[in-house]
Amino acid sequence: MTDKVRLRIAPSPTGDPHVGTAYMSLFNKAFAHRHGGSFVLRIEDTDQTRYNPTSVGEIIDSLRWLDLLPDEGPGIGGEYGPYVQTERRELYIKHAHELVDMGHAYRCFCTSARLEEMRREQAARHEPPRYDRHCLRLSPKEIERNLSEGKPYTIRMLVPDEGTTSFQDLIRGEISFENKVLDDQIILKSDGLPTYHLAVVVDDHYMEISHITRAEEWISSTPKHILLYNYLGWELPKFAHFPLLRNADRSKISKRKNNTSLKWYREQGYLPEAMINFLALMGWSMPNGEETFTFEDVKREFTFERMATSGPIFDLVKLTAINGKYIRTLSDEELYERLLPYLPEDLDQERVRRAVPVIKDRLTTLGEFAELTGYLFGPPPDYDAAGLVPKKGTPEAARAALERIRDLLAGLPEPWSHEEWESGMRGIAAELGLKAGDIFMVLRVAVTGSPVSPPLFESIEILGKEETLRRVDAALAKLG
RNA sequence: GGCGCGUUCGUCUAGAGGCCCAGGACAUCUCCCUUUCAAGGAGAAGAUCAGGGGUUCGAAUCCCCUACGCGCUACCA
C-alpha cells in the first residue's frame, strides 16, 4: 500500500446515470486532484438481474458532460483494471474460499425458501432478522455430501459474537457497532458472483483506494467491511460517509419524487457548471462564504471537515435559480453556441443570434429558448380577438389603434430607430385617448400572440417590417 | 422492533464558548426601474439555534436524556 491518494465512485449500471453519482464524483475528483491523486470509476455490476447494458456508457457520458471524467475506468484505461466487477470474479471467488479456509467464512446451503421462513418466524417473535447459522453447524461430512450432490451454496462471513468494531469517519467522527448486532452476511452468491460487501473490499484493496467515500446509507455495513479487511490482513483505508441527498419529504432521493437522471438535467438545458455549483452547495460551502464558484474552487478548498452531516433536500428551484444566473453571465456568443444543441438545425441562425440578447435575461434553462422565442421563427400562437382589446377599451378602439400602428410602421424608414417608433406609438395613444401601455399591448398581442412576451421593439426589429405588418393585418382580420 | 446517523429561517447553509437577542443565498412580500414578462436595485418578513437537563462568569457551539426525522436490517447496491 502506498500513500497515494486514490478515490473512486462505484455506481451500479442499473438505470439512468444518477445525480448522486455526480455528487460523489464532484467531491471525489476534487479531493483526489487536490492531493495529486487519482479519481477512479468502477462499475459494480454484480447484480445481474438489474443490469442495464446502456448504463455504463451513459454514466461516462454524463460525467464527461459535467467535466468530471475519471482518470481511470472502463473504456478510459488505467493500471488497476479491469474496472468492471463481473470481469474480476475469479478474484472474489479466490478470497471467499480463502476466508472459508481460514475459518472466517462458511458455506451456506440454505434455500431462499428456508431463509424466508426463518425471517418470517423471527418477525413473528419480534426478533431482529438474522441468519440463524444453521449451516455453520454442519459437520464436515454433511458439507462434503452437499458438495458432492452439487447443492448450490453461498458463502457467508462469520461475524464474531463479542466485541465491537469501530472506525473513524472523516466526516462524522467515531462510529462503533457491537459485533453481535451484525449478520453473517452473504459475501458470495450462489451464482458465483460476490455481493457488494466482498466485492467492494477486494476491489478497493487491489485498486489501492485510499479514501472510501459513499453515501451515509452505507454506514451500517462498514463494520462488516472492516472485519473483512482484518480477516484478509489488509490495511484499512479511510472512510467518509457523505450525507444522503433527500426528497422534499426528507426521504432518500428517488426518481419517484425527483428528477434523479443526469440525462434529464442535460436535456432540460441546465449548464454543467451550474449543476456543479449547486451540488457543491449540498452539505458543503466555501470557507469564504462565496456561493458562486467553480469546480476549480472546490478542488482548491475541499476538505472533509467542512462537509455537513445532515442530508440536504435537493431543491430544483434553487438549482434553476443558479442556472439562470450562470446563463446571464454568458456572453451572447457563448450563449448562442450553448443553445445550438437545443435547437432544430433548420432554424434561421442569424435570427437565433439576434434573439439571444433579447431572451437572455428570461432564460432559466437552455431548453426554454425554443418555446420562449417560437413567435420569432414561425407564426405567433393563436390567440383570442378579445386579447387585442385594451382593458377599458372597445374592439373599435383596438381596430383604430392597429390601423394607425400599421400606417406608422409602413411609413417608417428601414431601419428605424427605437425613438422614432416609440414616439410614434405614444402619439397614437394620445390621439386615441388611450394609455401608452394599452397601445403597446395591442401590438404585443398582434405580434407575439401573447400579453406576456420578450421586448416588443426588439421583436419587431427581428421580424422585420414586412412580417410585422402581416401580423398586424392578421390581427385586424381577427377583430372582424 | 434492533442498530446506526442526524436535528440553526420554508429550503441550502455560516457559525468550531463571548464578535450571534444568529449572517448569507434561494423562495416569499413591498418598493424602484419599466410598453408586458424578466433581469437589475433597495427593503421587509422569516430560526426562542428540536425540547429538557447539566458544565461554565458566559453555550447554537461541550456533556447527558428525550422527541422527531432518515438510513440499514436481501443470494440489491
Cβ of residue A132 near strand B, that is under 7 Å?
A: no
CB A216 within 8 A of CB A23: no
- Residue A15 CA to nucleotide B66 C1', Å? 42
Q: Supply the pLDDT for residue A243.
A: 97
Q: Supply the pLDDT for residue A2.
A: 54
- Residue A440 CA to nucleotide B31 C1', Å? 24
Q: What is the torsional sign of CA A476, A400, A459, A265?
A: negative
CB A23 within 8 A of CB A279: yes
Q: What type of residue sits at position A116? A: E
CB A106 within 8 A of CB A112: no
Q: Select from A282, A291, A272, A212 the least CA-distant residue to A246.
A: A282
- pLDDT, one tens digit per residue, over A397-435 is 999 999 999 999 999 887 889 999 999 999 999 999 999
Taking the stretch 421-480 of protein chain A, residues with Cβ within 7 Å of any atom in nucleic acid chain B are 422, 436-437, 440-441, 444, 451-457
Residue A384's contacts (CB-CB under 8 Å, 6 or more residues apart) are: none
- If one counts every other C-beta atom within 10 angstroms of the C-beta of residue A361, the result is 11
Strands A211-215 and A238-242 turn out to be parallel
Cβ of residue A152 near strand B, that is under 7 Å?
A: yes
Helix (H, G, I), strand (E, B) or coil at A95: helix
Q: What type of residue sits at position A289? A: G
Local mean pLDDT, 10-residue blocks, chain A (480 residues): 86 96 98 97 95 96 98 95 95 97 96 93 88 95 96 97 94 94 96 96 98 97 97 97 96 96 98 98 96 98 96 97 98 97 94 97 97 95 91 88 94 87 94 92 96 96 94 92
CB A376 within 8 A of CB A460: no
Q: Supply the pLDDT for residue A413.
A: 84
Q: Provide the grid cell at A238.
A: 479511510
CA dist A177 and A131 (Å) reads: 18
Strands A6-9 and A38-41 turn out to be parallel
HEC per residue, A231-272: HHCCCCCEEEEECCCECCCCCECCCCCCCCEHHHHHHHCCCH
CA dist A316 and A320 (Å) reads: 6
Helix (H, G, I), strand (E, B) or coil at A164: strand
In this prediction the pTM is 0.95
Q: Select from A410, A249, A253, A240 the least CA-distant residue to A309.
A: A240
Q: Supply the pLDDT for residue A480.
A: 79
- If one counts every other C-beta atom within 10 angstroms of the C-beta of residue A99, the result is 22
CA dist A204 and A202 (Å) reads: 6
Cβ of residue A75 near strand B, that is under 7 Å?
A: no
CB A269 within 8 A of CB A278: no
Q: Provide the grid cell at A287.
A: 470557507
Write the DSSP symbol of residue A194: B
Nucleotides in chain B with any atom closer than 7 Å to protein CB:
1-8, 11-16, 23-27, 35-40, 69-77
- pLDDT, one tens digit per residue, over A105-144 is 999 999 999 999 999 999 888 888 899 999 999 999 999 9
CB A89 within 8 A of CB A46: no
Residue A436, CA: closest nucleotide via C1'?
Answer: B35
- Residue A310 CA to nucleotide B50 C1', Å? 14
Q: Select from A206, A276, A200 the least CA-distant residue to A239.
A: A200
CA A110 to chain CA centroid, Å, is 40
- If one counts every other C-beta atom within 10 angstroms of the C-beta of residue A220, the result is 12
Q: Burial letters for A277-303: b for 16+ Cβ neighbours within 10 Å, e otherwise?
A: bbbbbbbbbbeeeeeebebebbbebbe
Locus of grid cell 470474479 = A89
Q: Supply the pLDDT for residue A1.
A: 44
Helix (H, G, I), strand (E, B) or coil at A155: strand
